[in-house]
Structure 1
């Protein structure tokens, strides 16, 4: 199976509600789809979401990166998988989401050539998972209402977006906590919106009210490594690093510093599946659990994340793969089956991508 052609397309879908964080507001999905075709007609699909404020990539830059990488891999045989992956990652620096979209398509092809679902090819056996649901940042009453609606749908873990106003953030969390029953788990995500000192003060204010979230995600700027350690040494609430970790090297530094409690793996940051698996293995050596998350991505990228979660189910114990549930329409089917918070993997070969 030699790679014959690489094409790109766009996946668009409206959201049920605007997606609002301290970094951005998004009202519709618009992702890049990478289509890799082999000489026997087999096709692999990958996907990536442009997220300029996190990865620095736009739709235009992703298209340009794919076009640049194409000559390095067209004509190679899918059985030369390691060489192909090396060509992708050495031909151009950074561009992690573009590389991830291309890697996902190649892993889809590789699994198809093996006649296996991707998770099985990666050594996974787990096929049932639970994800959280994101509560976008907004007025307190709206966030409380959205939280109650999510619980009514069957979600028992809510990821609360905060980070634009420290005092208001505390009020939001207290109001949501008081509105819910004690069986609901809260995850907090400030998306780099606080300073280290603010983080400690705000978390102490919550902890004094016996509100200890499952974790606080990336409260400080991505490059504020010392700030992460400062927070971890002073609060009870576990600390999860997201934007601070793109690579295994990034994670190793934080883990060796004992600056975090958990690692958030996202394929768009790790430049695809290969380094995501390596990041999980590194975390395992430090006995640190991982969450696998997503950008605002469609079914192809999210499916790839679920397959990775299956492959590393012993260390990836938390899922934040709700992006598909936020869409008002689903223009593509994959091997993942959603029932609100429940995600199941089917036995479809590869990623099971099928466009309606």
Structure 2
């Protein structure tokens, strides 16, 4: 069964409220949906979001990559040669991880439909219910406190706080939220590369001295400054997670070699899809480093793919899958569903969209 066409379409999705980090503010997302069509009429669905500030991928660039080298490499290829297909996708052009992720997701959806299996079973997993955290955007301390209380009232018992600005205000952000939600709600901090090594160590030691326990500090320093990342990990007690420093399997191997981190945040848009995301989880498992599955501010389609991978890989132990909850109605049917903090997927073949 061969691939007969690959089609991409653009859409814009509105967010319910602005999403703010140390790097950017997002009010809408530009999504590229991809359909991989086979000769028997099967259609696999995938999507990617333009994330110029993180991966360097624009909507126009993603479309050019899919309609150019990716389509050229995959058109009329045999769907039964799964690993060969995915390797051709990976090697057809450099970079363009978002575009590759969209097509990789669409291929996995089509593979699942071909074998009448949900993607998590295709990848060797069992159906499970995951518990996601909820992100609290960076804002004035009082506003973050108010939002944290609202999210806990919705049923979330782990919050990820965006920090990475001036130290005193960051400290007040964490302190205000901690005072409001107490010790029953877990806290995770994400600096989005907002500090240098010395700033990060000073801030984290201040948290430790104040007895404010958090599950981890995510990407405290610049993605490319691995010496600073190691300096932070070597000089604090709280666990350190890599995000922007961990795009590809090769980058993750370097993190392992340098003993830089306690956790790695896997995102399909960074990795280029499910195949390479799974490789990252494998590498980390071999090194004894647990992983979190996360996402950019993305569509429910790619969010669903991330949830399927999380159900399939035993080394993905933490879940940051709240992005679809930030979207206004996407008009999609099927895929992942939420009940408070619980994330579930269906038993339908592929990703379960219809």
Q: Per the shorter chain, which TM-score range?
A: over 0.9
Please give the TM-score of this superposition, normalised by the length of structure 1.
Answer: 0.97
- Figure out how many residues of one structure are paired with residues of the other and give that number: 353
Which 10-residue stretch deviates more, 320-329 or 97-106?
Answer: 320-329
Q: What's the counterpart of residue 224 of structure 2? A: 223
Report how far residue 256 of structure 1 moved.
1.9
| Equivalent residues in 2 for 1:1-356, closer than 5 Å | 1-68=1-68, 69-312=70-313, 314-354=314-354
- Secondary structure, in 3 states, of the residue corresponding to 2:150? helix
CA distance in 2, matches of 1:212, 1:203: 10
Distance 2:9 2:324 in 1: 18
Please give the per-residue CA displacement for 1:185-209, whole angstroms capped at 9, x wherever unaligned. Answer: 0000000000010000001111111
Q: Distance in 1 between matches of 2:333 and 2:287?
A: 37
Give the drift of 1:335.
Answer: 2.9
Q: Spell out, residue by residue over 1:331-354, the C-alpha distance to the aligned partner (whole angstroms, 9 max, x if none).
A: 213331211311012101100113
Is the 1:127–1:346 contact (alpha carbons within 8 Å) kept by the matching residues of 2?
A: no
SS of aligned partner of 2:282: helix
Q: Over aligned residues, Cα RMSD in angstroms? A: 1.0
Q: 5+ unaligned residues in a row in structure 1: which ranges? A: none
Q: Secondary structure at the match of 2:304?
A: helix
**Equivalents in 2 of 1:273, 1:200: separation in Å?**
34
1:267-287 per-residue CA deviation (whole Å, 9 max, x = no partner) reads 101111111111111111111
Tell me if the contact between 1:2 and 1:76 (Cα under 8 Å) persists in the aligned partners: yes
Give the direction of change, closer, same or farther, for the CA distance of 1:304–1:245 in structure 2 (3 Å limit).
same
Structure 1 CA distance for aligned equivalents of residues 185 and 198 of structure 2: 28
Alpha-carbon distance between aligned partners in 1 of 2:123 and 2:27, rounded to the nearest angstrom: 34
Q: Structure 2: state its 5+ residue gaps.
A: none
- C-alpha distance in 1 between matches for 2:87 and 2:201: 42
- CA–CA separation in structure 2 for the residues paired with 1:300 and 1:335: 7
Q: TM-score, normalised by structure 2?
A: 0.98
C-alpha contact 2:304 2:351 (8 A) present in aligned 1: yes
Q: Deviations over 1:121-168 (max 9, x none)?
A: 111014200000110011111100000000000000001011122221
Paired residues of 2:29 and 2:50 also in contact (CA < 8 A): no
Q: Which runs of 4+ in 1 moved over 3 A?
A: none
Distance in 2 of aligned mates of 1:166 and 1:126: 42
CA distance in 1, matches of 2:197, 2:80: 48
